[in-house]
Amino acid sequence: MNRLLSTGLAAAIALALGACGEPEKAKPTLELPNKDPFPSTYQANAAGTLLIKGANLLIGNGEQAEATDLVVKDGKIVAVGEGLQVPDGATIVDGKGKWVTPGLIDVHSHMGVYPAPGTANHADGNEMTSPVTAQVWAEHSVWPEDPQFEKALAGGVTTVQILPGSGNLIGGRGVTLKNVPATTVQAMKFPGAPYSLKMACGENPKRFYGGKGQLPSTRMGNMAGYRSAWIEAAGYKKSWDDYIKKVEAGEEADAPTRDLRLETLVGVLEGDIRIHNHCYKVDEMAQMIDMAKEFGYKIAAFHHAIEGYKAAPMLAKEGICAVMWADWWGFKQEAFDMVRENIALVDYAKACAVIHSDDPIQVQRLNQEVAKAMSAGNRLGLGLTAGDAIKWATLNPAKSLGLEDQIGSLEAGKNADIVLWDANPMSVYAHAEKVWIDGVLRFDRNDASVAPTSDFNLGILEAGEVRP
């Protein structure tokens, strides 16, 4: 309908122009689907200038610096160094004896789509009505008032990737959010962040659909299911490519009928949408990698990579991040081969190691999960520092999201997503004291008014009771 209208309008304009001069044949116009129909409306308040003085910095890229200053201006980090000048009008925060990290990033969260309280009316994370539901977008399920968001913020988490669940082979689009209070999901969306697509290997899809007597009921059924979808997507892509070619050659052509499901898959084939693949086991990862080559797309990350340590050389070679827990295991056969040194070993093999929570309790203390993984590596003699380890929750996850040029480290030019900790964040006793996103103070442990609680909590809890 839109397409007809606008083609008609273009023809009318061409006619009108033609009336004044040489009659000219209307050039067909290209009608492509809008790639950003739900644009971000996120806006940072005026951030001003901030100087954090003399804190211990864990930079996020593996480095660390003692008693160092950090200057933020207009939402960006502008300088990191010792004894920096106090900029005019700067808010000064004394960081002496305290620690600073980049805002933590959780690339596997279901906050908003499986909010608290966990009731059926809001369980919107898993569209388990068909094994391939690439047409669904997690952002359309996010309930921004989920009281879990503010708890994660109090733990220093500034960026979250919200993913659909893992019941389906291809579960739908994920979305990257800034962890700010908002009434709409658009106001949380990280401007310009690439979309992701959630895929799932292994036990979950085959258990659920096998139980209903439909494909997939086996791992070979899983593979057949993904490959059929990619074949369909390749055909759909060709129909659009043909249409574009014709129009560009000046031929009349009707745009293909849009298919939301295949549109997302084509986004992957064209490199716009990043694959975040729930995949525990090394053998299945190898098959997913071959399949990606078969259809010509890239995998950004394997999530829940319990066997990351077995896959590490392959992941390093292919440039795929392994997204892992510190110590979860045993809830499924595919989670049986846990080793506590998993993250440290993936890092040791020079692959991209990432921590994730997948859990509303652990997202609040990702630093502790990092610390446990670091400690396990050090028990093995890997000599990891806090600076080494924090990158599993900062720069590496930023890479997996395609946002490493904007977030994930305390470097000049990056977004001022910053956490001030009252102790070494590798300690169970450490608290996030202040959290800034784009230079705006969003949480202050000593000032509840900075972070008003979710609407949901109003009238249920007293002001003093909703503190983290």
Partner 1 sequence: MNLFSKTFVKPFATALGLVLAASVSAESVLIKGADVYTAQKLLPATDVFVNNGRIEALGSNLTYKADRTIDGRGKSITAGLFNSETQLGVVEVAAIEQTVDSMTTRTDITAAFKVADAFNPNSTLLPHNRAHGLTHALVMPRAATGLFAGQVALVQLGNTPRVVHESVAVAVDFSEHGVELAGGSRASALALLRQAFADVQDYSANKAAALAGDRRTYSISLMDAEALVPVLKGEQPLIVKVQRAADIRAILKLAKAYKLKLILSGVEEGWMVAADIASAKVPVIIDPINNLPSGYESLGSRLDNVVMLHKAGITLMFTGMSWHNTHSAYLVRQSAGNAVANGLDKHVAIAAMTANPARIFNAPVAGDVIQGGPADLVLWSGDPLEVTSEPELVMAAGKVAPMVTRATMLRDRYFERLSAK
Looking at residues 220 to 279 of the shown chain, list those that interact with partner 1 (rule: CB under 8 A).
none
- ∠ CA 395-400-405, nearest 5°, is 55
Residues 347-366 that bind partner 1 (CB under 8 A): 348-349, 359-362, 364-365
> Least Å distance between CB 116 and partner 1?
5
Q: Please give the torsion angle defined by the CA atoms of residues 226, 229, 234 and 239, in that order, rounded to the nearest 10 degrees.
A: -170
Contacts to partner 1 from residues 180-219, by CB under 8 A = 203, 207
- Whole-angstrom distance, CA of residue 68 vs CA of residue 89: 20
Other beta carbons within 10 angstroms of residue 465's beta carbon come to 9
| Contact pick of 36, 88, 252, 465 for partner 1 (by CB under 8 A) | 465
Distance between CA 173 and CA 189 in Å, rounded? 13
Q: How far is the CB of 118 from partner 1 (least distance, A)?
A: 6
Of the chain, the end-to-end C-alpha distance in Å amounts to: 51
Q: At its nearest, how many Å lie between partner 1 and the CB of residue 153?
A: 14
| Tokens 């990737």 sit on residue | 161
Task: Please tell me whether residue 459 binds partner 1 under the rule CB under 8 A.
Answer: no
Task: Kindly tell me which of 38 and 348 has the beta carbon lying closer to partner 1.
Answer: 348
Instruction: Considering only the stretches 101-109, 156-164, 328-336, 396-404, report the one whose residues sit in contact with partner 1 under the rule CB under 8 A.
Output: 328-336
- Stretch of 110-118, 171-179, 291-299, 440-448 contacting partner 1, by CB under 8 A: 110-118
- The CA-atom distances, in angstroms, between 201 and each of 3, 238, 269, 332 are 38, 27, 19, 13
Tell whether residue 329 is a contact of partner 1 (CB under 8 A).
yes
Q: Rounded to whole angstroms, how far apart are CA atoms 173 and 224?
A: 21
Residues 370 and 389: beta-carbon distance below 8 Å: yes
**Side-chain half-sphere CA neighbours of 315 within 13 A:** 33
One-letter amino acid at 37 equals P
141-160: which residues touch partner 1 (CB under 8 A)? 147-148, 151
Consecutive H or E run containing 354: strand 353-355
User: By CB under 8 A, is residue 331 in contact with partner 1?
Assistant: yes
- What residues pair up with 199 in beta bridges, in sequence order? 170, 277
Regarding 36 and contact with partner 1 (CB under 8 A), the answer is no
CB 377 within 8 A of CB 331: no
Closest CB to partner 1 among residues 252, 465: 465
- Work out which of 276, 372, 414, 442 binds partner 1, going by CB under 8 A: 372
Helix (H) or strand (E) holding 284: helix 282-295
Give the nearest distance from C-beta 246 to partner 1 in angstroms. 51
Using the minimum distance from each CB to partner 1, give the nearer residue, 269 or 339.
339
Among 110, 310, 356, 399, binds partner 1 (CB under 8 A): 310
> Measured from the CB atom, is 63 or 337 closer to partner 1?
337
Instruction: Give 217's contacts (C-beta < 8 A, 6+ positions apart).
Output: 206, 209, 210
Nearer to partner 1 among residue 173 and residue 310 (C-beta): 310
- Is 374 a residue that touches partner 1 (CB under 8 A)? yes
Number of residues near partner 1 (by CB under 8 A): 58
Closer Cβ to partner 1, 221 or 468, answer by number: 468
Q: How far apart are CA 248 and CA 240, in angstroms?
A: 12
Contact between 236 and 262 (Cβ < 8 Å): yes
Query: Which listed range, 23-31, 173-181, 326-334, 405-413, lies at the site for partner 1 (CB under 8 A)?
Result: 326-334
* Interacting residue ranges for partner 1, rule: CB under 8 A: 116-119, 147-148, 151, 203, 207, 309-310, 312-313, 327-333, 336-341, 345, 348-349, 359-362, 364-365, 368, 371-372, 374-376, 378-380, 426-431, 456-457, 460-461, 465-468
